[in-house]
Structure 1
Amino acid sequence: MSEQVHRFSPENMHRLDAPERQKLMPSKQLLDMVLQTQDTVVDLGAGTGYFSIPAAQMTNGTVYAVDVEPKLLEVIQERAEEKGLSNIIPITGVIEDIPLQDSMADVVIASLVLHAVRPLSHSLREIHRIMKNEGKLLCLDFEPKESPMGPPMNLRIASEDMTNALNAAGFTVTKRMYPSEFLYVFVAEKPGF
């Protein structure tokens, strides 16, 4: 991949758990839209476990917390231990080359990370690869509109462009939500055969 990739700095990890995020993106409510009690989950760009921890509480399956930053994965491991959760597996890796086998995930979470990968089409094909048929993708990202949080404007992906990219990668968008004018939430499915 020759393009510049934007990575989140672990020095800013306090932002990942800010109360404003929970108000805009209530993790358990969003997970309720996609998660069943036996699902295997992959949380891409897992950060400090914003989705990994509640997902592990909601499923008896395994939650793979994937992040490029080992310091953030250590935080997830500590939080999982504090909560007595044994079904989270932290994995150091990147979305452009997900270190997991084909067709293993029932649910993939890509929360506020796809704007950081280049090219987007390659990463979406990687997500498609690791998902089971009829698996669900929970995708949250930023519209290119002014906002009190989020990446630089030039990195943001408009919801229409994200829809087109998901369709091109073989997904079907089944649900769209707009919690604010600068944030969108999609549920996309990998069709079964």
Structure 2
Amino acid sequence: MPTLEESCLIGRGNEKVEIIKLISNKDLQHFHVISLWGMGGIGKTTLVTDIYQSQEISSMFDKRACVTVMRPFNSATLLQSLIMQFRDKNEDKNETDLRKCLEGRRYLLVLDDLWSRVEWDAIKEYLPETAASCVIVTTREENIAKQCSKNKRNIYRVNHLGPNDACALFTKFRYLRRP
């Protein structure tokens, strides 16, 4: 379990609250995809990891998984990772059907660092559109974010930190890296 210090986001508190509202929106009692996009290194992964680990979010879903899309992209490896994370402890260890693991369950899936529409299409076909389930995608490309999230309300651009927050983050990082 992360400590308070580890889970403290610098300069992203408002964004975290906004995204948690999107995830928990009572009007969205159907399957929905939330896309976060922005340049590399801006903090998308840190933000979604913090959200994924929050108690508020974890209690809302029957099953959860978080994966980084590796390079080169291999859909079989990614799907196997998802099955291992989503599979119940009591389920057959030979279960290889992601849909079967998720069918009828409210799930949260974080797909970090999606680079292409082809990757999204290869993954999406295995995801049942179970009521109130949510997929969060991070990407560097706006067009990929739009491909994943058809609802404009669920497309979120992650911007640069302001000067004060950037300085605070730099100072904290420097302090933590000292020998």
Relative to the length of structure 2, the TM-score reads: 0.41
Question: Higher relative contact order at CA 8 Å, sep ≥6: structure 1 or structure 2?
Answer: 2
Structure having the larger proportion of residues in strand: 1
Please state which structure has a larger fraction of its residues in helix.
Answer: 2
